[in-house]
Amino acid sequence: MRLHQAVWLYASLHGNDYARAYAKERLQLSEDARRVRDSKWLLNKGGVRLREQWRALPSPKRRRLLQETPDLSFPEGVDGILDERRRNLPRQKSVLESARELSATDMTSPDVADKVVRMANARSNYHQILCEEHRLRVRAEYNRGSLAGVLESAASSVISAVALAKADCPTTTKADCPTTSDEAFAAVCTRLTCVLGTMLGTAQFDPDPDDDQPSRAFSESRIQAARRKYDVSVREVQAACDEEHVGAACKLFPAAHRNRYFGNLLALMQLVYLNYGNH
């Protein structure tokens, strides 16, 4: 994966702390080493965020930045990002994808594009915190000797991990989302690794009732704060899009335990209880 020099210049000036630091660090490397390091860094979280931020810019601004910083080593017709992984896999965009891309670039102001990026970050942060807190609860419930608590926390951890893999997919375009079942499977497995590691690691030791337990109130407060931040970001994007007369597909997360991936878990639990609860 490669970036146009204009994108690296943009990263050094407007990227987050990690992007700015790496944009300067890479200049000290040899050309061969830089190519290898760039490709690796761009596939990590910092690189995904930078690409997401670049694509959120309006098309006229991206074109202007590319013209102001020529890069003779970069092929023409590529909008600043060259992903060799998919060069031989052309894919026709759906009408919905094209509309989303258009509404997030040409038809919106930089303010709207910035709000979309912040909404994506808030969504990812919300599921990241859910994942962390539910993993901590697995150990806490195990030490308390609560089998029901362990099962509930473990299931919530898995659900949060899968949702986090989905939330990490950029909001503005689908270019960085998994395009094959193998890529989607790998993305989910990456997130589930930490969850399964926590469960297996917890089972290696006997429960310790005297172990310091994390504050449940603090945990809930942290989750709710992240959720409120995400809700606010969604409303800000919707309000900005309404002001610009742009249709934005911004929806809040479904109610807890009910979504397109896992069905109505509350109804399932009630069914299990009715069938087996009295046995």
pLDDT of residue 176: 53
pLDDT of residue 245: 62
Is residue 151 within 8 Å of 241, Cβ to Cβ? no
Q: In whole angstroms, how far apart are CA 86 and each of 7, 14, 89, 177, 180?
A: 20, 27, 5, 12, 11
User: Is this structure's pTM higher than 0.95?
Assistant: no
pLDDT of residue 225: 93
Cα 62 to Cα 60: distance, rounded to the nearest angstrom:
5
Cα 21 to its chain centre, rounded Å, is 22
Phi, psi of 82 (to 5 degrees): -115, 110
pLDDT in tens, the chain (279 residues): 789 889 999 999 998 888 899 999 998 888 888 888 888 888 888 888 898 888 888 888 888 888 888 887 777 667 788 876 554 444 444 333 433 443 444 445 677 777 878 888 888 888 888 888 988 899 889 988 988 988 888 888 888 888 888 776 654 444 456 667 777 788 888 888 888 888 888 888 888 888 877 788 898 999 999 999 988 988 888 887 777 665 544 444 434 444 454 545 455 445 444 444 444
Is residue 56 within 8 Å of 172, Cβ to Cβ? yes
pLDDT of residue 97: 40
pLDDT of residue 120: 82
pLDDT of residue 221: 92
